[in-house]
Amino acid sequence: MDFVKNVLSAVTNFKAYPPAVTALLIQVASLVMVASSLFFLWQIQGLKLTLIQAVFLQSLLALLLTRWRKLAWWWCVIQPAFPLSLFFLLSAPVSSWWYLLIFFFLLSLYWSTFQTQVPYFPSTRSVWIAIDDVLPANKSLSFIDIGSGLGGLVFYLAKKHPESRFSGVEIAPLPWLFSVVKAWCNPVSARFVRADYHDLDFSQFDVVFAYLSPVAMLPLWTKVRREMKKGSLFISYEFPIPQVDADLCIYPEKTVINNATLFVWRI
């Protein structure tokens, strides 16, 4: 019982943890609560449930706890799906080596997402074109994409502006390695660094582009204001700086289902 109390206490004090840790605690709490309840019902009433019925109960409880803790909407999809997916995957006649390979693939792709809360999600060509239209014409620039993923934006701009320097910084190993290998095979002025953008000096760049997440924007804006030179540009796709009006707003993909904005600030 002390273990159950400790888990529930940890979930209750969720604000001390990143959302991914809170989600994990919710899964542990729902598992413990379902297992304990079923054990007592079996002891007292002789009631037994099948394993799949117990898994459905855990999924439902995980969803309720997730809503109670007011996590982002996507956790309300992930949390109930996780126990069910795990059950069916473990029931499938698949070698355990495949699970290990998939784990390492996802780890190399998402890396520190649980801490940074910045998932891998690439921008599209229409966004690249809109950014290109914003860049000062007939001027050599130093441009960096923080969280560059597979490097699509950097390669696109480097081909369009061979006189300028385009860089990408990425912390996840797999996207960074893909970008480096592609850069070796393409004679363009594209450079990729595996690092945390917090460790960079933004004063070295005329343009900084970010496609991160709402959580990252305020700390990033503090760094931008502290380090970027006067006259430089900071561009963010989809995520604005809270309570800071952009100098320019562009809608590169204005459709019924996508009305995301490209925000531009002149420093």
Residue of 173, 134, 153, 160 lying closest to 266 (CA atoms): 134
260 has pLDDT over 60 = yes
Q: What are the helix (H) ranges across the chain? A: 2-12, 19-45, 51-68, 75-91, 96-110, 113-116, 125-134, 152-160, 173-185, 214-227
Are the beta carbons of 7 and 25 closer than 8 angstroms?
A: yes
* Confidence band, pLDDT 50/70/90 cuts, at residue 133: very high
Are the beta carbons of 71 and 22 closer than 8 angstroms?
A: yes
pTM above 0.85, yes or no: no
Percent of the chain at pLDDT > 70 equals: 79
Distance, first Cα to last Cα, the chain = 57
DSSP class per residue in 84-110: HHHHHHHHS---HHHHHHHHHHHHHHH
pLDDT tens across 182-236, in order? 888 887 888 999 888 889 999 999 999 999 888 788 999 999 999 999 999 999 9
Q: Which domains does the chain have, with CATH numbers?
A: 2-93 (no CATH), 125-266 (3.40.50.150)
Angle (CA) 145-150-154 rounded to 5° is 40
Are the beta carbons of 80 and 56 closer than 8 angstroms?
A: no
Which amino acid type is present at position 106? L
Which amino acid type is present at position 168? G
CB 100: neighbour CB atoms within 10 A? 10
Tokens of 34: 């379902």
Average pLDDT over residues 152-158: 94
Average pLDDT over residues 18-23: 70
CA distance 71 to 78: 11
pLDDT tens across 53-65, in order? 888 888 898 889 8
pLDDT for 156 equals: 94
Are the beta carbons of 117 and 218 closer than 8 angstroms?
A: no
Are the beta carbons of 81 and 103 closer than 8 angstroms?
A: no
136 has pLDDT over 60 = yes
Percent of the chain at pLDDT > 90 equals: 30
Are the beta carbons of 221 and 246 closer than 8 angstroms?
A: no
The greatest distance separating any two alpha carbons of the chain, rounded to the nearest whole angstrom, comes to 80
pLDDT for 120 equals: 56
255 has pLDDT over 50 = no
pLDDT for 8 equals: 54
33 has pLDDT over 70 = yes
